[in-house]
Structure formats: structure tokens, C-alpha cells
Structure 1
Amino acid sequence: MSVRTLAQELYALERKVERLSHELEQASPPRKDEIDLELLRATAERDRLRAVLRAKKG
């Protein structure tokens, strides 16, 4: 995967994490667990892509 593609995917995940964080703050209690799980997954994927991108750059 190219560095550019990784950077684009990372940017999309950054936006998703921001959106989910905002949704979590405003969500009703039954929905919070679902959003929190999705946020955890997106954050983990974002962090993984950051590491891959750093490795490719270095």
C-alpha cells in the first residue's frame, strides 16, 4: 500500500474518531455502549495505521 493511500485512510479514520467522540457525548445511554465500542475499534485501527505510516516513512 502506498504512503499516499495510507495517509488518506488515516485522515478518514481521524474524522471518524472525531465524529464518534462527538456522537458519544450526545448519545442516550442505550446507544452509548454501541458508539463506545465502534469508537474503540476506530481508534485502534487509526493507531495501527499511524504506526504503519511511520514505518514506511522511516
Structure 2
Amino acid sequence: MIFHNVLDIAEIVRQLQEESRVIDPEDLAHISPYLTEHIRRFGEYRSANSRLTPSSWR
């Protein structure tokens, strides 16, 4: 996911430069490909069968 974000950011910067927009390196320093706002890496995943124990699956 991070790699994909880096590619997207690089493509957008390239397009802006082709439009003769000036890209300040200081602005780029504030962009992170590691977005964490809406991602729960470690928690609260539920499924319809969450009440079943492993022996119930057999």
C-alpha cells in the first residue's frame, strides 16, 4: 500500500511539473505515503461467524 501511494504521489508531482507548476521541496517534505487515519492495522475486525469457536467449524 505504501509503495502504491509513493507511485501515486510521484505521478501527481510529475503532472503538476508538466503544467509548469512550481513544486517546493519543503511542501513535499510534509507528504507521507504512510497514511494511518482511516486504517485500523491491529484491531476490531468482526465477522458474521465471530461467535463460533474453532471446534464449531469442523
Q: Shorter-normalised TM-score: what interval?
A: 0.3 to 0.5
> Structure 1 length as normaliser, TM-score?
0.38
Q: TM-score, normalised by structure 2?
A: 0.38
